[in-house]
Copies of this chain bind each other. A is one copy, B any other.
Amino acid sequence: MSKAEKRSEIVHAALELIAENGFHGAPMAMIAERANVGAGTIYRYFENKDVLINGLCQDLEERMYPVILTGYSADSPLRDRFLHLGAALLRYFIGNPLDFRFLEQFHNSPYGVEHRRDKILGKNAGYNVFRELFQAGVSRQVMKDLPLVILFALAFGPLLAVARDHILNFITLDDDLIARTVEASWDGIRN
């Protein structure tokens, strides 16, 4: 097994275990076992568990962004752009439940809060499709004149909640239901 493969085995095993059992249910020994490596080997690739977990999150975002942005045109009407992003996000989560469950675990942990604080208040507020879309929406008065944070909550709160419900089998989302849900969440933010 090459070095890169081994690293990715470790990352994949960790993601799987954390998604399935939460942070509690993913001790290093178990990650090592599932990745078919020795317990110590992990520490050749990651300084410690914190670094592994933060790395996981970064890897994940890098995999997710391109998928969501496929077919996204910054020139379309705002409504279309929102519907595209919302549906793409929802489909991604449904198609990659492990990624979704990991992100949920991550965001409800000390790691996640710090991560989000940086994103909202922090330096690397850099380029961000979502922020750009919402700022345009507000300034063109297509969206409600509410703080960005609240618009985010109105838009993505429902989407994350239905993704969770689908993955926990409380409901089964098909393409029609996805579309109607995203449209409903658009109704929440549009003027």
Contacts and interface: CB of A to CB of B under 8 A. Distances in A.
A150 B177 contact: yes
Nearest to A148: B171
Interface string A170-191: 1100000100110011011110
Copies per complex?
A: 2
Given A104-B108, A105-B108, A184-B189, A153 B146 contact: no
A168 interface: yes
Interface residues of A, number: 41
A144 interface: yes
Given A157-B158, A170-B120, A150 B188 contact: no
Contacts of A110: 22
Nearest to A146: B180
Nearest 6 Cβ contacts at the A-B interface? A157-B157, A188-B188, A153-B161, A157-B161, A157-B158, A108-B108
